[in-house]
Amino acid sequence: MITLSGIIGSGKTSLTKLLSAELGSTAFYEPVDDNPVLPLFYKGNEIAAKKRAAGDKEATNPYAYLLQTFFLNRRFKMIKQAMREDNNILDRSIYEDEIFMKMNTEMGNATDVEYDIYKSLLNNMMEELPMAAHKKSPDLMVNIKVSYETMMTRIRKRGRDYEQVEQDPSLVDYYHRLLRQYDEWRQTYDASPLLIIDGDRYDFMANPQDRVTVLETIEQKLVDLGNLDEATMAKLKEKHQQSLQ
């Protein structure tokens, strides 16, 4: 089982689709389009920022805790399903979930009480996960690391109004904070082997050679970990060379 991680617009879903097709894996995608809370959360961020700018230092985003519990519930269900069988890929997982609640609390969008309740719920879920899923952890975590500039290019390209800084200038600070949170997360993640992909250097969707490089980097890591055999790796490399001709 492979889990993907990365900031908004890093290319997690795109890489999940590529890996799923490449390895014949089942892909599990984080729900976005059917999330009724996400647009409310972005609007709540904007409202809270305006209130604090006007002097209300206690203003919070009323949807921050709701959004994180919504995601946590979905991610717990999704990873349980994925970990019951082999050869699955998730485009985001429960292992990076706390990043967002921690950051929202630090920004004042959520209260310390809400964060404590959230952490208690998350810890309970993590304790239950090995029993519920019959697997201790992912075999590999692939993190796509991108800069602010790359992230913004991809956010503009996919065109979700509530993610655009032109619509909500407070998102500039939010995105920069999120990048720093991911830098810290990479230093402390220890649930499984971690492979970092340079998303600024490799445009694996638009550039065929970059796509091959990224796929083969991940596949070689799987070989090193004993999750992919050398014969399969050789066949995949041959297919890649044919695709570049």
Instruction: Just list the catalytic residues.
Output: 91
CA distance 80 to 130: 9
90: CB partners within 8 A, 6+ apart: 1, 2, 3, 4, 16, 27, 28, 30, 78, 79, 82, 138
Separation between Cα atoms, residue 182 and residue 180, nearest integer Å: 5
Dihedral angle, C-alpha 8, 10, 13, 18, nearest 10 °: 180
Residue 70 three-state SS:
helix
* Share in percent of the chain as helix, strand, coil (round to 5): 60, 10, 30
What is the spatial distance between Cα 222 and Cα 202, in angstroms, rounded to a whole number?
19
- Strand 194-198 and strand 140-145: the pairing is parallel
Considering only CA atoms, which of 127, 26, 34 is closest in space to residue 84?
26
Please choose, from the candidates 71, 88, 90, the residue with its C-alpha nearest in 3D space to the C-alpha of residue 32. Answer: 71
Bridge partner list, 198: 145
